[in-house]
A and B are shown apart, each in its own frame.
Chain A
Amino acid sequence: MSALLFLAQTVRIAIPYLFAAAGGAIAERAGIVSLTLEGFMLGGAFGAVLGAHYTGSAWAGLLSGAAAGLLLGSVHAVASIRFKADQVVIGVAINLFAVGITRFFLQLAFGSSSNSPRVVGFGSETAGGSAAAFLTNPLVWLGLAAMPVVAFVVNKTRFGLRVRAVGEHPQAAASVGVPVDQVRYAAVIASGALAALGGVYLALDQHQFTDSMTAGRGFIALAAVIFGRWDPLRAGVACLLFAAAETLQIQLQAAQVIPSQFVAMIPYVLTIVAVAGVVGRSTPPAALGKTSE
């Protein structure tokens, strides 16, 4: 198989990770735990299918998917920032809620417990995996751009400096006049929309919503953020690395060299190694998970 095809397949698998990890990077750098990425993605996927189904337009699907992410991100933000609720608890709750609410509305809107009807996607209808469909899908380009943009925002802009400040030392940031809560709201709500776009890509690529279709991808994205030491560019590379491992596994499946379950473990094992500090410690933002009283 050609290197180009391998690359294309890797990118195809990496796009949802890149979107979600971009969201995770920005929220975690602002000090808010991103266990919610999975829920945001699932909400985005369902929102996209609803929008695309009722309007017949993939762009409307993109917008309604992002809106679902904004909504879920706002819930996370208000609970964690305004009410200072435990962010891990809220994360678990939003993920449970996203599974439940998408199933409920799948039943309500489409009368099915497993999947939605077929909806439009980007690119030509016959596509499947063709290069043209791949290259004309705006979500592919948005996904590839997401990480560099987030990296630029976090590392080079005034807003990014504030994000890093409230994530490392909110009291110090507040003392020099940074509106800590506002910065965090912006970061978390943006993370909702970004991660949701990962779900939008999945749903429109498969032309339908299926129950729990994100299948743990939000956690792989979180693993990428942590493995990338909370640096957006490194997190992006981690996403590509994880996706390449998956691609390799799919290619080798026929040969049965390594059982697929062991390839699926790679992101998690690497992340544990990184966090345990065996090779170069991965240290989280100092104020991660703490909303000051």
Chain B
Amino acid sequence: MTPANARTRAIIEESVLPPLVALVVALVAGDLLIMAYGQAPGVVWRTLLEGTWGNSYGFGQVLYKATTLTCTGLAVAIGLRAGLFNIGAEGQLAAGGFGAGLVGLLLPAGTPALVAIPLCVIAALAAGGAVGSVPGLLRARFGAHEVIITIMVNFIVLALLNYFVAAKLHVPETLHTPEIRAGAVARLSAAMPAFHGSAANWTIVIVGLAAAAVWWFLFRTRGGYELRAVGLQPDAAEYAGIRAGRVWFNALTMSGALAGLGGVNFVLGYKHYYEDGFTGGAGFLGVAVALIGRNNPVGVVLAALFFATLSQGGLAINAMVPKQIVEVLQGIVIIAVATAVPEVRRLLRNAVSKRNAAR
């Protein structure tokens, strides 16, 4: 096989196949569910598109949701690049939001945005990073499996935050903290009135920069090279003088920090307070985003837009089909991509080796 062929095949396998499978499966499974509910698929799909990409409010909502999902997707992706599965993004996202909200609450009112916003963002990164560092440390120090630890830490963090909010900080009759005094991020609609009413805010720029930084780190720096080397073959990396334990710790800490950054979107950009349960599954969906985005920051952004479209689209079609249809589709899409992509890869590999054998 020529190098050019190999490259084309790699591009097809890595970049084209997963989203293609996701789209086709979502369409077919969606058709069946829509018909089960006695509606015409064509009309429902059109309404879904019109309600998301077809008007600026819907599009703003898609951007808002994609911003959070990009963070959790990047978090899972950077972990997987180091060979570690972080499924605790839900708790890290919540911790990040809580950190941002707490600092915003403690800062005196009237703190200039130029000071307050960076402080709150750093708090979000630090809180998420701290949560991520626990499985990182246990993995590096004791070899404890990060999947188990991230699940367990997840529940501990969510319970802890629930305690702080419910017992210490909440506004009476609610499960959210008082409004932050400083650090609010402006809505996009302030500059672009077309987005009026949507939650899209300038966090999207911060997160876009974070995605670019992750790409740069992974593919253009020594640290990123070491991280990927450990992810591919920890023993070989150790032999080459890379300390795998340290890379694991750093990777999971960065992963947690990225998930934590997502909390900025809700707390600073949308509600201006921390609310118990605001994550609503966005952390777990990060696994799907990283999977479809093939652990590549560019792919993660596109996959986040896809899942955000589904999620917002569910609201647009709720009058015709229950919006829960999109949750079903999300599950089906993940199962389909996780099973179909390795299968097709095996078929391609078999076909090539057969052809080579025939020569």
A residues with CB within 8 A of B = 33, 35, 75, 78-79, 83-86, 88-90, 92-101, 103-104, 107-108, 113, 216, 219, 222-223, 226, 259, 261-262, 264-265, 268-269, 271-272, 275-277, 284, 289
Contacts and interface: CB of A to CB of B under 8 A. Distances in A.
Contacts of B155: 216, 219, 264-265, 268
Nearest to B328: A100
B156 A268 contact: yes
Contacts of A219: 151, 155
A94 B335 CA distance: 8
Given A84-B342, A97-B335, A219-B155, A103 B327 contact: yes
Given A275-B138, A275-B142, A276-B138, 8 more contacts: A79-B338, A92-B284, A92-B287, A96-B327, A99-B327, A101-B331, A104-B327, A284-B145
B339 A92 contact: no
Interface string B20-37: 000000000000010011
A88 B156 CA distance: 20
Contacts of A35: 87, 147, 151
Contacts of B331: 93-94, 96-98, 100-101
Contacts of A85: 335, 338-339, 342
Interface in B328-356: 328-332, 334-335, 338-340, 342-343
A97 B325 CA distance: 10
30 contacts: A35-B147, A78-B339, A85-B338, A89-B287, A89-B338, A92-B284, A95-B284, A100-B329, A104-B328, A108-B322, A216-B155, A223-B152, A226-B148, A259-B167, A261-B160, A261-B162, A261-B166, A265-B159, A268-B152, A268-B153, A269-B156, A271-B148, A271-B152, A272-B144, A272-B149, A272-B153, A275-B152, A276-B141, A276-B144, A277-B144
B281 A96 contact: yes
Contacts of B167: 259
A269 B153 CA distance: 8
B266 interface: no
Contact of A97 (B144, B149, B153, B328): B328
Tell me if B's interface is mostly helix, strand, loop or mixed. helix
Interface in B156-213: 156, 159-160, 162-163, 166-167
B145 A275 contact: yes
A289 B145 CA distance: 11
A93 B322 contact: no
Contacts of B144: 272, 275-277
A222 to B, nearest CB: 8
A222 B87 CA distance: 15
A99 B116 CA distance: 39
B335 A75 contact: yes
Nearest to A107: B322
B335 A79 contact: yes
A265 B326 CA distance: 32
Contacts of A259: 163, 167
Interface in B276-316: 281, 284-285, 287-288, 291
B156 A265 contact: yes
Nearest to A93: B334
Interface residues of B, number: 47
B248 interface: no
In order of increasing CB-CB distance, the 5 nearest A-B pairs are: A97-B331, A100-B327, A93-B334, A103-B324, A83-B339
**Most chain A beta-carbon neighbours within 10 Å: one of B145, B167, B324:** B324
Nearest to A39: B331
B12 to A, nearest CB: 19
**Most chain A beta-carbon neighbours within 10 Å: one of B138, B151, B335, B342:** B335
B343 A83 contact: yes
B148 A275 contact: yes
Contacts of B332: 97
B335 A277 contact: no
A104 B167 CA distance: 34
A88 B322 CA distance: 28
A264 B149 CA distance: 16
Contacts of A265: 155-156, 159-160
A93 B335 contact: yes
A46 to B, nearest CB: 12
Contact of A104 (B151, B156, B322, B342): B322
A248 to B, nearest CB: 16
A108 B160 contact: no
Nearest to A89: B338
**Most chain A beta-carbon neighbours within 10 Å: one of B145, B152, B160:** B152
A86 B145 contact: no
A95 B87 CA distance: 13
A84 B342 CA distance: 8
Contacts of B287: 88-89, 92
Interface string B256-290: 00000000000000000000000001001101100
B325 A104 contact: yes
Nearest to A95: B284
Contacts of A79: 335, 338-339
A280 to B, nearest CB: 13
Interface in B16-68: 33, 36-37
Contacts of B327: 96-97, 99-101, 103-104
Nearest to A92: B287
Contacts of B149: 272, 275-276
